[in-house]
Amino acid sequence: MNDWGDTCAFALALPDVKMASWWDRAKKAQRVAGNMEERP
């Protein structure tokens, strides 16, 4: 795996609206999952 290549590919994909919305949903889902895990 080439980290720099992966970073470049990700950076090139960022302007894509679909990519941005997918990333937004992923981060929101991750936050919800994290909140659920924190509850006793």
For the record, the structure tokens of 3 come out as 């980290």
Within 10 Å of residue 16's Cβ, how many Cβ atoms?
Answer: 11
Indicate the domain borders of the chain. 3-38
CB atoms within 10 A of CB 13: 13
**The whole model's pTM is what?**
0.38
Reduce the DSSP state of residue 1 to 3 states and report it: coil
Render pLDDT for 2-38 as a digit per residue (tens, 0 to 9).
676 777 777 776 666 566 677 788 888 888 888 877 6
pLDDT confidence of residue 2: 60
